[in-house]
Amino acid sequence: MNEWGVGVPFSMVRWIAILPFIAAVAHGLLIGLVRARLTDRSIWGISLSAIAASFGLSVLTVFDLVGVGRSQRILDSLGPWIGGGVGGRSFSAELTFQLDPLSAVFCLAITLIALTVYIYTIGLFRDGTLTSESGHRMFAMLDLLVGGTLVLILADNLLLLFLGWTIVGVASQLFASFDYEERTASRAGAVTFVVGRVGDLGLLAAILLLFDGLSRANAPVLSFRGIESAFRLLDGQGLAWLEWSAGSPPLLLEIVGIGLVLAALTKCAQFPLHFWLPNASAGPIPANALMQSATTVVVGVYLLLRFSFLLDSAPIARMFLVIAGVLTMFMASLAASAQWSLPKLIAYTTSSLLGLVIISIGIGAYSAGAFLLLTHAFIKAQLLLVLGIVVITLRGETDIRRMGGLALTMRWTNVMAAGGCLALVGCPPFSNFFSIEEILAFIAISERPDRWFLIMTIMLSIGILAFALGRAYFLIFWGNVRQGGLSQERLRDPVGWTQHGLTVLAVIAVVAGVLTPSQYWGSPWGVEQMDSVGHFMAGSLVGNPDPLLLGAARIRLILGLLVSIALGGGIAAWRYARRGYQGQSKQQAVLLSQGVMREMFFVEQFYDLVLVRPLKALSRWALVGLIETRLIDRIVVSGGSGLARRFVWSGLRRLQNGRLQSYALLGLLTVLVIVSWMLQ
């Protein structure tokens, strides 16, 4: 096809991304036009077959990719989309999908998680959570979410990436307001969209500025392969194209990087733009599981990974990443430890662990960040779905103060939830352990002056996270039975589809550690050169995939991590395992600090107070009140017409005196003027 990519004669890459959309459109047509009454089986059948086919194609195309060589990429073009401009600024964005190691691994992971979430969702029909109407809507939106993510993952150019990005944003908004008849849900949707919009425009600004800079350097390209080779060519050829204006420092890449960072922070729910996720977590459980594991939060990080070649030369932008990541990790862990609402608690743990991913990318450990993102995705999907079972069994109860003692009747769920909580905080042998440990090793070997501060903060946050998850777990499953009004018979483990989907996820969550791009864990097993999936993926990323930290230093890190997990979990067990929820604390200071933490330091309210209200007040009082009403309506229009009435009309009125002679005179004069002018 061209020097950077390989065209496979009959490429199926496009169908990975398109199939979910076909299913979504089919749902849309079935609801909107045909109004067919379908059986539950055919409703989920449409979406499940599409996503299963996507997964199958992902597997097949990975073999294609291995066949053509890992340094290559497979391109699959549907034709032109938008093109225009002339000369040095002309561009053409095609609907082209590319498959390289990075996108291949992400495609596999996303379609696999989506598949299990879909299977789980089927179970919701059985217990009446989903009806035929909401089932259509649910599956259409899930398809949209997964399809948008896959478009973004497979996008070959910047505009297609933006397309996938906005589809994910719209789908997230739709899910946040899924129960649109409730006021909180509709508000959550609006918050999600507006915050997402900030990120969209950050991304759009980054894309446009990058394209503008490249066209100034006479390389107007939009595709990733074009941009990467342009970067190689432009390297060391003068910095003029990187200047914002003449003589300014060559900061274009930093500005573009900051735009990307802004975009990524919104989608990954990072401070200070994190608050949409706890709001949106009130949506349906399968959507939550997908958004917080494999779609919405993934696209934010994937964007940074895709641009790792650019971020590598944008240290200021990466500094912002580290700051945001550290703050989010610490604050979101605290927020999680003070939550009573189960979905919000899980949402804050997502923010927190994504903060670690963001830190990892900020320090330049791209492959480690990608690795944690993937292992977190599997574990988070599993944990959310298990806790979803609890919520559904308790008929929508989300307050963990009103749960307790479920381990007695829901044994399988108990085991799954305990495993999920342990896995999430990074307990060995679950996969998150390997990825968190690897990031710590990367920080330790970096030459940063603040590396020990970072490591300490991360360990502290993980300890708090362990406390938060332990607290939730013990309150829900241990102690006394506290949920009133529900008979013990109703509290039982799920069977059928729901259980199958979860079991698959749990197995993956355990074994996903083999994805590790690091070689460190090879030596205990006697493997000298591990050719893991992570290593394969790292081929598309900048930097060394393996932190070269061995011996006692590494073991100290691992021990530190384990101690902090044990401490956090131990405190939670000591405080809650036996006694359960003991009622509100009596001390005002404790209550106050819990309230502050629960709202994550009132960031959302701060925006409302500082940004939204003043803007509305400005519009209402200054613009509408003063300019529109007073100035324009009263002074200009009324005053102008008053003046006109006074001076112009009163003069003209004299002409209307009713005497025929004066009218005739006026008419004659007019004709004379016109004729003389025409004849000149």
Partner 1 sequence: MDYAEHILSLIVALPAAAALVLLGTGLLLNFIGLRSLPEVVWRTLGLGVTLVTFGLVVVGLVFGFDPEMLGFQFVEVVGFGDRFGAGMRFGIDGIALCFMASTAGLVPIAMLASEREVKGSVRSWVMTCLFLETSLLGLFTSVNFLSFIFFWATSLLPILLWMGRWGGLGRARAASRMWTIESIGLAGLLFVAFVLREASLDQLGVATFDLVAIPGASGVSLLDVSVSKLDQGWLFFVLAVSLGTRLPLVPLHFWLPAAHAAAPTGLSVLLATGFVQAAALGILRYALPLFPDAAIAAGPALSVVGIVAFVYASLIALVQKELKRLVAYTCVGYVGFAVFGISTLNVQGLTGAVVQLLTHGVATAGLFILIGTLALRRGTTDVAAFGGLAKPMPVCAFFFAVMVFSLIGLPLLGGFVGDLFVLLGSLETRRELSVVTLMAMVVAASYLLWVQRRIFLGPVDKPGNRGLIDLDRIERTLLLAMTIPIVFVGVYPNPILRRVEPAVLEILNQMDQRATPKLPTGSEGEGGDEGAIEIEVVHLTIGLGPDDMGRRQ
Whether residue 145 contacts residue 171, with contact meaning beta carbons closer than 8 Å, is answered with: yes
Q: Annotate 544-595 with three-state secondary structure.
A: CCCCCCCCHHHHHHHHHHHHHHHHHHHHHHHHHHCCCCCCCCCCHHHHHHHH
Task: Give me 185's structure tokens.
Answer: 């849900």
Q: What whole-number distance in Å separates Cα of residue 409 and Cα of residue 399?
A: 19
Closest distance between partner 1 and the C-beta of residue 275, in Å? Answer: 15
Give the residue among 37, 17, 268, 55 at the shortest CA–CA distance from 151.
Answer: 17
Helix (H, G, I), strand (E, B) or coil at 75: strand
Closest distance between partner 1 and the C-beta of residue 524, in Å? Answer: 49
Output 32 or 449, the one with its CB closest to partner 1: 32
Phi, psi of 36 (to 5 degrees): -75, 140
What separation in angstroms does the CA of 532 have from each of 9, 53, 529, 539, 668? 28, 25, 9, 11, 99
Output 511 or 612, the one with its CB closest to partner 1: 612
Closest distance between partner 1 and the C-beta of residue 86, in Å? Answer: 5
Closest distance between partner 1 and the C-beta of residue 247, in Å? Answer: 6
DSSP string computed for 428-490: TTSHHHHHHHHHHHHHHHS--TTHHHHHHHHHHHHHHHHHHHHHHHHHHHSSS---TT--TTT
Closest distance between partner 1 and the C-beta of residue 615, in Å? Answer: 7
Closest distance between partner 1 and the C-beta of residue 51, in Å? Answer: 21
Closest distance between partner 1 and the C-beta of residue 399, in Å? Answer: 22
Strands in 6-7's sheet, in edge-to-edge order, are 6-7, 74-84, 91-99
Closest distance between partner 1 and the C-beta of residue 240, in Å? Answer: 3
Antiparallel, parallel or unpaired: β 74-84 and 91-99: antiparallel
Output 14 or 187, the one with its CB closest to partner 1: 187
Run of H or E including 658: none
Phi, psi of 60 (to 5 degrees): -65, -45
Q: Which residues are at the interface with partner 1 (CB under 8 A)?
A: 32, 80-90, 92, 159, 162-163, 166, 170, 177, 180-183, 185-187, 189-190, 193-194, 197-198, 201, 204-205, 208-209, 211-212, 215-218, 234, 237-241, 243-247, 615-616, 618-620, 623-624, 628, 632-633, 636-637, 640-641, 678
Closest distance between partner 1 and the C-beta of residue 168, in Å? Answer: 12
Output 196 or 420, the one with its CB closest to partner 1: 196
Output 32 or 524, the one with its CB closest to partner 1: 32
Q: Work out the number of other CB atoms within 10 angstroms of the CB of residue 123.
A: 24
Output 43 or 508, the one with its CB closest to partner 1: 43
State the Cα torsion 179-183-188-191 to the nearest 10°.
Answer: 140
Closest distance between partner 1 and the C-beta of residue 74, in Å? Answer: 24
Closest distance between partner 1 and the C-beta of residue 117, in Å? Answer: 25
Output 618 or 672, the one with its CB closest to partner 1: 618
Give the residue among 107, 154, 137 at the shortest CA–CA distance from 47.
Answer: 137
Output 296 or 382, the one with its CB closest to partner 1: 296
Output 156 or 437, the one with its CB closest to partner 1: 156
Output 155 or 289, the one with its CB closest to partner 1: 155
Output 548 or 617, the one with its CB closest to partner 1: 617
Q: What whole-number distance in Å separates Cα of residue 305 and Cα of residue 319?
A: 16
Closest distance between partner 1 and the C-beta of residue 246, in Å? Answer: 4
Q: What whole-number distance in Å separates Cα of residue 5 and Cα of residue 383?
A: 39
Task: Give me 141's structure tokens.
Answer: 């939106």
Task: Give me 145's structure tokens.
Answer: 């979410």
Closest distance between partner 1 and the C-beta of residue 343, in Å? Answer: 20
Q: Which amino acid is it at 5?
A: G
Closest distance between partner 1 and the C-beta of residue 167, in Å? Answer: 8
Task: Give me 211's structure tokens.
Answer: 């394209």
Output 33 or 589, the one with its CB closest to partner 1: 33
Q: For 223, which DSSP code?
A: B
Output 89 or 646, the one with its CB closest to partner 1: 89
Output 180 or 452, the one with its CB closest to partner 1: 180
Q: Annotate 272-339 with three-state secondary structure.
A: CCCCHHHHHCCCCHHHHHHHHHCCHHHHHHHHHHHCHHHHCCCHHHHHHHHHHHHHHHHHHHHHHHCC
Give the residue among 360, 384, 364 at the shortest CA–CA distance from 372.
Answer: 360
